[in-house]
Amino acid sequence: MQRRPFLATLGATAAALTTGTRAQEAPGRKLGWALVGLGSLSTHQIAPALAKTKHCRLAAIVTGTPEKAEKWKAQYGIPDSHVYNYETFDRIAENPDVDVIYVVLPNSMHEEFVIRGAKAGKHVFCEKPMANSADECRRMIAAMKSAGKQLGVGYRCQFEPHHRECMRLAREKVFGDLKFIEAGFGFQIGDPAQWRLRKKLAGGGALMDVGIYALQACRYLTGEEPVEIVAQEVKTDPVKFAEVDETISWSMKFPSGVMASVMTTYAFNGVNSFTAVCQNGKFGMDPAYSYDGLKGWTSKPEVKIEFPAVDHFQTEMDAFAAAILADVAFVPSGEEGLWDLLAIEAIYRSIAEGKAVTVGNV
């Protein structure tokens, strides 16, 4: 069987979360993180989240913009010796204060910096989508394996309690067997000049950027890998979306017979949810993938999905650090990113060929 049981993944994720206790008892030190790319996500989400973590601290920065370096040095008290640019990055190997490299660059640059991070002998955490192709993911996984270091992918929803409860409801069949999933995530993208609309940098459009969240939800609710996919694409603005996809809807068949109907778009707001239809009821989230304000619901008043808000970036970085400190394998690892790219490649292939296609293998 080529397809790994996803439930093992969930177990390992839970292990990574619970190892927090072991890690706290073990070495008292916080792992030093180097942020590569100081764009919107690093500035507004990751740096503030790092300050809230138990096991991590901001140790170094890597940026191509000297003005940003000055601002971050002053704001976070980072010494000159811990500031790198894309050319001097490899010297990070000689900095014992850096344990983890967090790649927060445009998608096409993930492969290069993950592999350079591996060669520097550091653990690497990589933003989603892991890369622009399954082959890039394979090379990244191989580089990290030969470095003997951990590779984590930034699937923050897997560290968010509403999502985790939905995984449990599906896994423990609280509403009976899962039968059908409807999921989608999209938004109206602005600035037509941004890298997200350039195929070379982004690898694709809405699907690579936000459709991947809805794809992930289907995968972690079923605990399976899709075997067959059929997809359709619509472009209402062929100028703005000349290089990348604007709106895609696709269906996936899973080995147990679960069907999923999924969509993503860069053309409009309003789709940010999933519904899991089971034999004896249903549950879901709406909104499902935002940084905050998430809401879960079920068809039975006695079963509630209600949790206090968490900072997804804080919980995922702490889980990665805890796994490293406790020396247990972190999930979602590079393989998880690779499975998503295999499904994404199948979606694009189905659109190009105009027919249902099977999903590739690791």
Query: Which window, 103-111, 174-182, 249-257, 299-307, contacts ligand NAD (CB under 6 A)?
Result: 103-111
Q: Can 289 be counted among the known catalytic residues?
A: no
Contact flag: residue 127 with ligand NAD (CB under 6 A): yes
Contact flag: residue 37 with ligand NAD (CB under 6 A): yes
Size of the site for ligand NAD (CB under 6 A): 19
Query: Which window, 37-45, 75-83, 269-277, 336-344, contacts ligand NAD (CB under 6 A)?
Result: 37-45
Write down the catalytic residue from 102, 155, 213, 289: 213
Query: Which window, 36-44, 111-119, 131-139, 271-279, contacts ligand NAD (CB under 6 A)?
Result: 36-44
Compose the 293-332 pattern: x for residues touching ligand NAD by CB under 6 A, - for all others: ----------------------------------------
Q: Can 266 be counted among the known catalytic residues?
A: no
Q: Two tokens at 292?
A: 């905050």
Smallest gap, in angstroms, from Cβ of residue 147 to ligand NAD? Answer: 21
What residue number has its CB nearest to ligand NAD?
Answer: 39
Contact flag: residue 39 with ligand NAD (CB under 6 A): yes
Write down the catalytic residue from 30, 122, 128, 282: 128
Contact flag: residue 38 with ligand NAD (CB under 6 A): yes
Query: Which window, 99-107, 215-223, 259-267, 297-305, contacts ligand NAD (CB under 6 A)?
Result: 99-107
Q: Two tokens at 341?
A: 């790219």
Contact flag: residue 128 with ligand NAD (CB under 6 A): yes
Contact flag: residue 156 with ligand NAD (CB under 6 A): yes
SS3 assignment for the chain: CCCCCHHHHHHHHHHHHHHHHHHHHCCCCCEEEEEECCCHHHHHHHHHHHHHCCCEEEEEEECCCHHHHHHHHHHHCCCHHHEECCCCHHHHHHCCCCCEEEECCCHHHHHHHHHHHHHCCCEEEECCCCCCCHHHHHHHHHHHHHHCCCEEECCHHHHCHHHHHHHHHHHCCECECEEEEEEEEECCCCCCCCHHHCHHHHCCCHHHHHHHHHHHHHHHHHCCCCCEEEEEEECCCCCCCCCCCCEEEEEEECCCCCEEEEEEECCCCCCEEEEEEECCEEEEECCCCCCCCCCEEECCCCCCCCCCCCCHHHHHHHHHHHHHHHCCCCCCEHHHHHHHHHHHHHHHHHHHHCCCEECCCC
Smallest gap, in angstroms, from Cβ of residue 102 to ligand NAD? Answer: 10
Q: Which amino acid is at 324?
A: I
Compose the 207-226 pattern: x for residues touching ligand NAD by CB under 6 A, - for all others: --x-----------------
Measured from the CB atom, the residue of 64 and 121 that comes closer to ligand NAD is 64
Which residues are bridge partners to 261 per DSSP? 182, 251
Q: Which residues are catalytic?
A: 128, 213
Would you tell me which residues interact with ligand NAD (CB under 6 A)? Answer: 37-42, 64-65, 104-107, 127-128, 154, 156, 195, 201, 209
